[in-house]
Amino acid sequence: MSLFKAEHSLVEAASLFADELMRLGIDKDEARAEARLALSTLMSIAYGVLPLKHELVLGDKAVDLDRVLKDRRNRRPIQYALGQADFMGQTFLVGEGVLIPRPETELLVDFVSRRLRQLEEDLGISHENVLLVEVGSGSGCISISLMLQFPGLRALVFECSSQAARFSQVNAERHGVVERMELILADFFQSEQIDLLARRLFESGCHCFMVSNPPYIDAAEMEELQPEVKHEPELALRGLDADGMGFYRGFAAVLLGVAGKRTDIGSFSEAAAKKNSTDIGSFSEAAAQKKSTDIGSFIAEEKLVEFAFEVGHKQSGPVAEIFAGAGFQHVEVRQDLAGIGRIVAGRLIK
């Protein structure tokens, strides 16, 4: 049975929508915000302007609002129901099989943006001489947002999910940056992909800046996720290893190789293997046997290898220790407004 009528004003519709969400146990403020988001999206009215449109009625959008509410009653995320999510002031298409962009990840984009500007101001390294490398692009929101800020920035992005990769491609096309983004559909931790990364750096002569919001939720926390989050791909949520931090161990091994620290790769990977990083350990063993096509030789001298990764709310200290212990310099933790460490960053100099 339809709840919304064509003659309902937007005020009436917003109230009805929010009331239904609160019956599901959703917080009052969140319910009202979702109602406003749903109406602004369906009516193509700016979110901030919607409260001023008292005279408007739903019209033929009543059917669409009923559909969105049905999805929400099934605890399907509002972003999936609407087919889009806002991030860094831009709209990104999302749907089943891709992680929904989070406000917390905007902190990562802001940090990388500031760091790119610092590289130019302090070291004279233009963003045009930096290759942005993103692992696990999902919707593409991180790389695309940065390319929109820096017109000369190019990105090499890796995504192992075909569903998510399609969203990365479509969003890059919609935002006009597809010509500057090379999208690789593959598991980044395969030695072939590491060789590809090294070749791209060698061919371009660029410095490397790796970014990622990798899966980092451990097994215990996976059981406690909100119903909406359980609609999102587990591949983008569940971290490697029992503690959820396996991806960071893998990134450290790869970046050491990119910087030509081949001696350190083996010892670091051996430690990672002891922590049950099976996939990472096997990559490193294979890389050691074939010297990963001697990836260090691809990289010219005096090249920076920078990184910035989003981490879980309890992981900033341990992740920082992973990189500091592996020999990275200037390892730092950046906190969100609540004082929670959300970003671990650092660098290596070849």
**CA dihedral (161, 294, 265, 254) positive or negative:** negative
Distances (CA, A) of 167 to 84, 85, 87, 150: 11, 12, 14, 21
pLDDT value of position 257: 83
Q: Where do the structural domains in the chain lie, given as residue ranges?
A: 10-74, 103-349
pTM of the model: 0.89
92, β-bridge pairs: 85
Pairing status of strand 341-349 against strand 304-310: antiparallel
pLDDT value of position 261: 66
- The DSSP-derived string for 121-153 is HHH---GGGEEEEEES-TTSHHHHHHHHH-TT-
The 10 Å CB-count burial string (b at 16+, else e) for 207-235 is bbbbbbbbbbbbeebeeeeeebbebbbee
Note whether 317 and 324 are within 8 A (CB): no
> Mean pLDDT in runs of 10 for the chain (350 residues)?
93 97 96 97 94 91 98 98 98 98 97 98 96 98 99 98 98 98 96 91 94 95 92 94 94 87 43 40 40 45 88 96 95 96 91
Q: What share of the chain is helix, strand, coil (3-state, %, to 5)?
A: 50, 15, 30
pLDDT value of position 289: 42
What ranges in 234-305 are assigned the alpha helix state H? 246-258, 262-274, 278-290
pLDDT value of position 301: 55
DSSP state of 180: G
Residue 335: CA atoms inside 13 Å, Cβ hemisphere, count?
6
Phi/psi class of residue 168: alpha, beta or left (left: φ > 0; alpha: ψ in -120 to 50)? alpha
**Exposed (0-12), middle (13-18) or buried (19+): which is 246, by Cβ within 10 Å?**
buried
Can you tell me the distance from the alpha carbon of 67 to that of 89, in angstroms, rounded to the nearest whole number? 26
pLDDT value of position 280: 41
pLDDT value of position 184: 98
Longest CA–CA separation in the chain, Å: 71
Pairing status of strand 90-93 against strand 84-87: antiparallel
Topology of the domain comprising 103-349: Rossmann fold (3.40.50)
